[in-house]
Amino acid sequence: MADKNNKELVRDGIREIWGEGKLDRIDHYFASDVMIEDPMGSQKGPKAMREQVSMMRQAFPDMRVSVDSVIGEGDIVAYSFTVTGTHRGRLQSIEPSGRQVTVKGVGLSKIKNGKVIHDHSQWDLFGLMVQIGAISPPEFMESGAGRGAQA
């Protein structure tokens, strides 16, 4: 039963906080000393998480997040997700491009006393930067090499 509750906790937390922008729900899902690690860096605590979610939702105001799969065992939950949105706001120093993006990722959450105490996710930051035009794709990507193309 704990496995099911932990999976629901992670799924619902991602949906409400990242997908719907309900920042007031962070304290419901995450411990006061939660450690968050992702391609944007490491941060500790709900305040830092609120800032990161706000930044991403301002850059992508129509951001949608779907949790594609969730697997849990004991106090560990693994998940995969897809984020879509349109780059309509500034993302750190990157001006809005108006481009639509799709980014996939995976994560692991550790649960204690009904709250996430550590979350480590990896998502395609490089792909996001290419999609919004912040960087150019390497030549091998443009030619199709590395994606099943014959050399």
pLDDT digits (tens, 9 = 90+) for 129-147: 999 999 988 876 666 655 5
What domains, with CATH codes, occur in the chain?
2-142 (3.10.450.50)
What pLDDT does 117 receive?
98
What pLDDT does 140 receive?
65
Letter for the amino acid at 104? K
What pLDDT does 143 receive?
61
Interval 52-64 mean pLDDT = 96
pTM of the model: 0.86
What pLDDT does 139 receive?
75
Interval 83-89 mean pLDDT = 98
| pLDDT exceeds cutoff 80 at 149 | no
Instruction: Output the average pLDDT for the chain.
Output: 92
Interval 72-92 mean pLDDT = 97
C-beta separation of 91 from 113 below 8 A = no
pLDDT digits (tens, 9 = 90+) for 111-131: 999 999 999 999 999 999 999
